[in-house]
A and B are shown apart, each in its own frame.
Chain A
Amino acid sequence: MARSAVGVIFTNIQDKNIPELSSRRTMASIPFAGRYRLIDFALSNLVNAGITTVGIVTQKNYQSLIDHLGSGKDWDLARKDGGIILLPPYSNETDAPYKNRLEALMGITGFLQRRTEDYVVLYDGDGVSRLDIADVVRYHEETHADITLVYRKTDSVESHYYITLDPDDTGRINSLQINPKLDNKKDINLYINVMVVQREYLMGLIQNAVQSGFSSFGRDILAKHVGSMRIFGYRFDGYYAGITSLSRYFKYSMEMLDKDIRDELFGARDIYTKVRDSAPSKYIAGAVVKNSLISDGCIIEGTVENSILFRGVKVGKGSVIRNSVLMQETVIGSSVQMDCVITDKNVVIRDRRHLSGCEELPYFIAKGKML
């Protein structure tokens, strides 16, 4: 149990990667897998490691995030001591909210100071995984690291900002690169935006960065001082979906139809999310549903294949939905045909529309649109 750690989730840091879904919400509140938001995976991993205090760093567009989190009770984080602590932008000198991770950290020094836990888990809410944070903290303690970076092996990277690591045999990182050219390189050690750091050490880093006028956590702290700090890499081999673009979002959504992946993520039934008291889904006589995930509150009269339906989706008679992701409260009329479509929340598709995209470029319909 990582009782002696506090979590910090950055909800906006990776927004640039997927503007379609994050223009009106934070990255962390992007809906995923039928009834979750990305932040649910970060929160659940932290909570399942015994962490009871999680600071939520927000920058902009965080109304839907706040609505999702509520008091934190759905993650068992409505606590007298700690629990969910919202950390909205704070500034008294500049009038703009933070621009990067370092400025965000500068803005939460008060929170970090008030805590008493030994470690801080810094977590970007952009990945879907079942990561054993308690094991990462244990590794961090065993290696006496100053900073532990969680990474995974991959053959491809698609992101505006990424860090690759070169761990030695002991796991120690002696060099790391920011946005290196990869040119078909295989076996990349990609940092997955989760790190553990000693709380007081982190405060020292921040203070030093302020005094030195640093502007980037990655460039000015990690990359520049990698030789002088004890930075270790924790290799994660489990399922990981980094939501770095709309086409990746679509690809990873479809991977949720794979039983093995689903069992790994949800088999233990310990991924928590906001409860909405929706009624169970109804399959009306004549409905055909194949290879699909259906969340609660749906009413299906048509055909649904290879698709993910979020809560409260309605599919009318004679409609055929294939290879699509329909977010919360999407309403599909009758005799509609859809293939490779992503609808954001509250989209309405009128009768007899035919819409299709392709796997690489799914047809995206923005929140609240009516077609």
Chain B
Amino acid sequence: MQRKKECVAMLLAGGQGSRLYALTNNIAKPAVAFGAKYRIIDFPLSNCINSGIDTVGVLTQYEPLELNEYIGNGQPWDLDRTFGGVHILSPYQAKKKSSWYEGTANAIFQNMGFMKKYNPDYVLILSGDHIYKMNYAKMLQAHISTGADCTIAAIEVPLSEASRFGILNINPDGSIYQFEEKPKAPKSNLASMGIYIFTAEKLYKYLQEDDNDPNSSKDFGKDVLPAMLNAGEKMYSYLFEGYWKDVGTIPALWESNMDLLGADPLFDVADPSWKIHSRNPLAPPEYISETGEVDNSMIALGCEIYGQVTNSVLSSNVIVEEGAVVEDSVIMSGTVIKKGAKVLYSVIDENVIVGEGAVIGENKENAKGITVLGRNMHVSADAVVESGKIIDKDYKGE
């Protein structure tokens, strides 16, 4: 008897994330740090294991090294399995041809062999750039009970923002009659979350047809889903209610970090019934000194706080020296804020040194935008980085 998996997940993690600018210079978007100890990809991976899905293909293409290293053998997510587990799927050279992934659909098409090895009944397609907690098992249950060929997870968005999304127009029973990619005049506010469950055989069929079509851009949203709908396949929406955020832009990434703060946060990463798994830093507990002040913030292990931290999220091993001020900011691991420096309304990547007395950004009320410092850079003492600037090289001032 051939061993099989009921459902295999394919996680699209190849995106460059160009709207995150300096934060994705050398790493793929799903590897970007989030919420003091996580990376974006921890959320879909944790959702998978918490939903009972233990076979995940991660499709990487852009700057995959750090992401590959982070995922490793998948042990932190309990995804190191003898049959199944997490696998990195990079573009590869084949006997007849070799090619980079051309679009989301093409990436999955090129890994048909991986999926078929597990002989799944269903395939779950995920993307690696959203922060959310979702039980995919419930969505699969809905897919099975409607007898759909494809089920698309959808969330209600404000109608004013609907034109930024793929919009689903549905019948009262949830079946989809029209799919519009970023419509100028949206007819509904039901946005696709980029999460699809396909009945495996249908997916294989339409991916093959899509590959044969020279005019296709090889994209799920633009090509495969409309083709299935036109052919009269049964497509249903699955309404998701809960926190879901595309963190593909600097303001969205900042805001989503802030959503973690407070006694009753908009998004709770400490929910014991839905643990978010991640690689854990090897560091002692954080130390807040006699001179330190921490207010409405989230601080990870290994930090040392001698200055003042307000409304901020600090990843592991960040040092805030005496007299330094960090406000409304996201600071990633290993960064040092030297004496008397000010960091206001900013996102600072890993291993940055902000020199003594330097000023990064301006307070939230007056700032032109969020200030961003890329990883491993050094801001000289007393240098001033204007608000809204994005810098990724050592900075000595104007």
Q: Which residues of A contact B (CB under 8 A)?
A: 33-35, 73, 257, 259, 262, 265-266, 269-272, 275-297, 299, 301, 308-309
Contact = CB atoms under 8 A, between A and B. Distances in A.
A355 B295 CA distance: 26
A277 B278 contact: yes
A287 B275 CA distance: 25
B290 A291 contact: yes
B262 A284 contact: yes
Contacts, number: 107
Contacts of B262: 282, 284-285
Interface stretch (B148-156, B183-191, B280-288): B280-288
A291 B280 contact: no
Interface in B301-315: 301-302, 304
Given A279-B269, A279-B270, 4 more contacts: A35-B285, A262-B284, A285-B262, A289-B294
B300 A280 contact: yes
Contacts of B292: 289-290
B280 A275 contact: yes
Given A289-B292, A290-B292, A299-B263, A283 B298 contact: yes
Contacts of B302: 269
Given A269-B283, A282-B261, A296 B300 contact: yes
Interface in B225-284: 260-263, 269-270, 275-278, 280, 282-284
Given A280-B37, A282-B298, A34 B289 contact: no
A294 B286 contact: yes
User: What range describes how many residues of B lie at the interface?
Assistant: 35 or more
A277 B275 contact: yes
B74 interface: no
A196 B285 CA distance: 32
Contacts of B287: 257, 259, 262, 292-294
B42 to A, nearest CB: 10
A283 B285 contact: no
Contacts of A275: 76, 280
A331 B263 CA distance: 15
21 contacts: A34-B284, A262-B287, A266-B283, A269-B283, A277-B280, A279-B37, A279-B269, A279-B270, A281-B299, A282-B260, A285-B295, A286-B295, A287-B295, A288-B293, A289-B292, A289-B294, A290-B292, A294-B285, A294-B287, A295-B285, A297-B270
B35 interface: yes
A278 B275 CA distance: 8
A128 B186 CA distance: 64
Interface of B: 35-37, 75-76, 260-263, 269-270, 275-278, 280, 282-290, 292-302, 304, 317
Contact of B284 (A280, A281, A293): A293
Nearest to B297: A283
A267 B290 CA distance: 20
B299 A35 contact: no
B285 A293 contact: yes
Nearest to A300: B294
- The residue among A34, A285, A293, A308 with the most chain B CB atoms within 10 A of its own CB is A285
Nearest to A268: B282
Contacts of B285: 33-35, 293-296, 308-309
A281 B298 contact: yes
A285 B311 CA distance: 9
A286 B262 CA distance: 11
B40 to A, nearest CB: 16
Contacts of A271: 282, 284
B261 A291 contact: no
A33 B288 contact: no
Contacts of A287: 294-295
A74 to B, nearest CB: 9
A277 B277 contact: yes
A265 B270 CA distance: 29
A283 B296 contact: yes
Nearest to A310: B285
Contacts of A270: 282
A280 B35 contact: yes
Nearest to B282: A269
Contacts of A292: 287-288
Contacts of B275: 277
Cβ-closest 6 pairs across A and B: A34-B285, A279-B270, A280-B36, A295-B285, A285-B296, A266-B284
Given A73-B75, A266-B283, A283 B300 contact: no
B182 to A, nearest CB: 35
A284 B284 contact: no
A283 B300 CA distance: 11
Contacts of B288: 289-292, 294
B301 A296 contact: yes
A326 B292 CA distance: 20
A35 B301 contact: yes
Nearest to B289: A291
A295 B286 CA distance: 6
Contacts of A296: 37, 285, 300-301
